Structure 1
Amino acid sequence: MAKTVLVIDDDPTQRRLLQAAVEKAGFACRTAPDGEAGLALAADPKDGIDVVLLDLTMPG
């Protein structure tokens, strides 16, 4: 089973680029547009998030 990467970024273009790179590398990918949504995904045990890539300069 592929490991799952959570990409959190407020810029939709950056999210798509990172998602494409992560999936091309053979990982499953979930995305979130902000920290709040990312925390909700990361806290859900059924998502099985293994690693998080995030934008540290997001608003909020």
Structure 2
Amino acid sequence: MKYKFQGKRKDNGDIIYGSLLLINGTAYIYQDTFGDIEDIDFGYGFVEVDIDTVKQL
């Protein structure tokens, strides 16, 4: 099962949707459109979001 999340981007305030990644208290959303977590390129697609705005959909 793939969970989806939303959060507000830290750089421009836009709401984005995707998969959530938490690292050392920092939240990132990967704007995925296909594939599984094993296929993610960790150098591309992750956007830092305000952790207080993250919601599971």
Shared fold per TM-score greater than 0.5: no
Higher helix share: 1
Question: TM-score when scaled to structure 1?
Answer: 0.26
Higher strand share: 2
